[in-house]
Structure 1
Amino acid sequence: MRLLLNIDVPDLAAAERFYVDAFGLRRGRRLGDTALELLGAEAPVYLLQQPAGSTGAAAQPRDYARHWTPLHLDVVVEDLDASLATALAAGAKTDGDVREAAWGHIVRIADPFGHGWCLLQFLGNGYDEIAT
């Protein structure tokens, strides 16, 4: 199986700046006027320009204010504090404090387009610390 990540955004240039600056991704192919491939993660990320108010899934209009979705993505980082500072400088907003767990640290953030992300820093044996 091959996984591709598609992220709807209202402004392709602003989204490129954010994802390159916040997560260290790099520009891949430009796919027409409204799509851009970003590389550097284990799966390619495709930014898809879709205007706010256009029809999304289940005929719901797209809304780029902060929103909740049952699907979110985690970015595994080596240094949570440094990665959080980088993401915030690029335009992310935090959705709470850094939390500690037996497997490491986590913080919820939102990109400038309302999409939720988590930054994770594994410590010790990561999830193996809690695996049964």
Structure 2
Amino acid sequence: MRILVNIDVPELALAERFYAEAFGLRRGRAFGHDALEMLGGDVPVYLLRKQADTVGAGTSTRDYARHWTPVHVDVVVEDLDAALIRAIAAGAEQEGAVREAGWGRIVQLADPWGHGWCLLQFLGRGYDEIAT
């Protein structure tokens, strides 16, 4: 099985810049004017140009204000503080304080299009610290 991450955005050039600066991804292939591949993570991220108010799923339309979804992407980083500074400088919004857990540290973000992200820094053995 192969997993891909697809992210709807209203404008590819701005999204490419954000994801490159915030998370260190780099441009891969372009697919015409409507899609762009971003590489550098464990899975490729595809930015898909989709205008606001077009049908997103069922009868729901796309809205690039901050929104909730039960699916989000975590970005594992070596230095959470440095990654957070970089993401905010690129245009992300921090949502809440950095929190610590038995496995490491986490902070929630929103990208400029309302998508939720988390930065994770594993400490010790990461999730193995709390595995039962």
TM-score range, shorter chain: over 0.9
Q: In the alignment, is residue 72 of structure 1 matched against residue 37 of structure 2? A: no
Secondary structure in structure 2 of the residue aligned to 1:98: strand
Distance 2:72 2:3 in 1: 14
Deviation at 1:58, TM superposition (A): 1.3
> How far apart are 1:59 and its partner, in Å?
1.6
User: C-alpha displacement at 1:72, in angstroms?
Assistant: 0.6
Q: What displacement does 1:39 show?
A: 0.5
Other structure's SS at 1:17 match: helix
Is there any run of 5+ residues in structure 1 with no aligned partner, and where? none
Q: Could you tell me how far apart the structure 1 residues matched to 2:39 and 2:77 are?
A: 16
How far apart, CA to CA, are the structure 2 residues paired with 1:63 and 1:36?
20
Residue equivalent to 1:102: 102
Higher strand share: 2
Q: Which runs of 4+ in 1 moved over 6 A?
A: none
**Does residue 60 of structure 1 match 2:60?**
yes
RMSD of Structure 2 on Structure 1 (CA): 0.5
Amino acid at match of 1:44: P
Look up the match of 2:2: 2
Q: Supply the distance in 2 between the matched residues of 1:44 and 1:130 (Cα, whole angstroms).
A: 29
Percent identical among aligned pairs is 70
Q: Which runs of 5+ in 2 are unaligned?
A: none
Paired with 2:107 and 2:18, the residues of 1 have a C-alpha distance of 18
TM-score, normalized by length of structure 2?
0.99
TM-score by length of 1: 0.99
Aligned partner of 1:39 in structure 2 is: 39
Count of aligned pairs between the two proteins: 132
**Equivalent position of 2:119 in the other structure:** 119
